[in-house]
Amino acid sequence: MMLLKIAERYAEGRTLALLDPEDLANVTPAQSREWVRLLALGLIVTGTVAGALTAGLPDAAATPLIGVVSLLAWSVLYGGRMVGTDLVDVMRGQSRG
């Protein structure tokens, strides 16, 4: 029933009023935890850089290591859910809705 109401109002162009306030009375908003993923990614990359410098790796070895670890961390944390432009929006504190 609720989907029908949303569909009808969307078809009418009432995109700012798809549901009535009483329809959302018992709904708890979802929490955005993108900042946790972003913080974890930053810590992993920074830790990799610091570890490579502390270990005294030459630049020819440290650069690919940092790139591979960064790519793996990105893949594990975001799993294809976020593209580069979304990362910029997260850093700016914006959300996609």
- Alpha-carbon torsion 64, 67, 73, 78, what sign? negative
- The domains of the chain are located at 1-30, 33-97
Q: How many CA atoms lie within 13 A of 20 on its CB side?
A: 5
Q: What is the pLDDT along the chain (97 residues), one digit of tens a residue?
A: 889 988 999 999 988 888 888 888 888 888 888 889 899 999 999 999 999 999 999 989 999 999 889 888 988 888 766 566 666 666 666 655 5
For residues 69 and 52, the answer to whether their CB atoms sit within 8 Å is: no
Q: How many CA atoms lie within 13 A of 95 on its CB side?
A: 7
- Report the alpha-carbon distance of residue 80 to residue 91 in Å, rounded: 18
**The residue type at 35:** W
| Predicted TM-score (pTM) of this structure | 0.57
